[in-house]
Amino acid sequence: MPELPEVEAIARTIEPLIAGRRILATRLLHPIVARNSPCDTDGPLSLANARARKVIGVCRRGKYLLIELDRGWLAYHFRLSGQFVWYDRRRPLGHVDFALDFPSGTLGFVDERHLGRVRWLDRPEDLPGIARLGLDPLSRDFSGERLAGVLRGSRRPVKLVLMDQEKIAGLGNIWTAESLWQARIDPRRRAETLSGRETRDLARSVARVVRRALKSCLDPAPDFRNPEWWFENGDKMARVYAREGRRCGRCGAVIRRVEQGGRSTYFCPGCQR
């Protein structure tokens, strides 16, 4: 699933393609992409509001990508496998769920599993998932003190708190695991047990990991003209994620995998305490 660094990289790369341009047409090829439930009929109809609107800019909030229009917003959530594809000329769109036609080409939202979602909004906060987002690791407000306020009093495992979008916006399974490894903190520990020093170290690790991941996602930048593109450097950065049975590059212990909240958690039992 695209997390904060990947979505941020997509937003920064797609903005030069569409900012300042007017949407000629909207094409909804698979209505499920605009529905919050099987009975939702307003979502698919509302996407037509983007037609003839001018793109002001593109940004990210948590794992949401937002396209600001001269009236309203388009909010995309990539879920597990959604992505953008750019066509310089209009042509058959294959698995595209939703498309925006511009004078210079077409921006298609592709998700073969049809799990991704697109919504038209008067303002981003009208979507509950955005309105409830917590602290963003790329914001100036992200600090050890602010993170301590999030962790304080929580008996949940620290990894699950970091992945809670209402607590910390944008982190997912991969970069949470990497941040905890960098900070030498066991993901199974109760959040409330972290000391002040550990919390400060964790905040620095989260910010460092996210910024390094963003840099890797932009080098090379996403190639929206290639339907097969995906981020190439994430696996190279991983120190624990999906490395079960391998040796930790820091202490040499064997990396373990456990299940937390229905997801796999990878950590080093030798140096994460």
Contacts of 106 (CB under 8 A, 6+ apart): 86, 87, 89, 90, 93, 99, 100
Phi, psi of 236, rounded to the nearest 5 degrees: -70, -30
Within-domain flag for 83: yes
The pLDDT, as a whole number, for residue 165 is: 97
The pLDDT, as a whole number, for residue 40 is: 59
Residues forming a β-bridge with 66: 59, 75
Q: How far apart, in Å, are the Cα atoms of 99 and each of 1, 82, 156?
A: 21, 13, 41
Q: Is 40 in the same domain as 127?
A: yes
Q: Is 35 in the same domain as 83?
A: yes
Reading the block at residue 27, the tokens are 């094409």
CB 20 within 8 A of CB 192: no
The pLDDT, as a whole number, for residue 112 is: 86
By annotation, the residues acting in catalysis are 2-3, 63, 263
Q: How far apart are CA 235 and CA 161, in angstroms?
A: 24
Within-domain flag for 243: no
CB 269 within 8 A of CB 253: yes
Which 3 state secondary structure label does DSSP give 122?
coil
Within-domain flag for 263: no
Number of domains in the chain: 2
Q: How far apart are CA 172 and CA 144, in angstroms?
A: 19
pTM here is: 0.94
> Could you list the residue range(s) of the whole structural domain that residue 190 is in?
144-237
Residue from 220, 169, 164, 143 nearest 3 by CA = 169
Q: Each residue's pLDDT tens digit in the chain (273 positions)?
A: 799 999 999 999 999 999 999 999 999 999 999 987 665 566 788 999 999 999 999 999 999 999 999 999 999 999 988 999 999 876 656 689 999 999 999 999 999 888 999 999 999 999 999 999 999 999 999 999 999 999 999 999 999 999 999 999 999 999 999 999 999 999 999 999 999 999 999 999 999 999 999 999 999 899 999 888 888 766 778 999 999 999 999 999 999 999 999 999 999 999 999
CATH of the domain at 72: 3.20.190.10
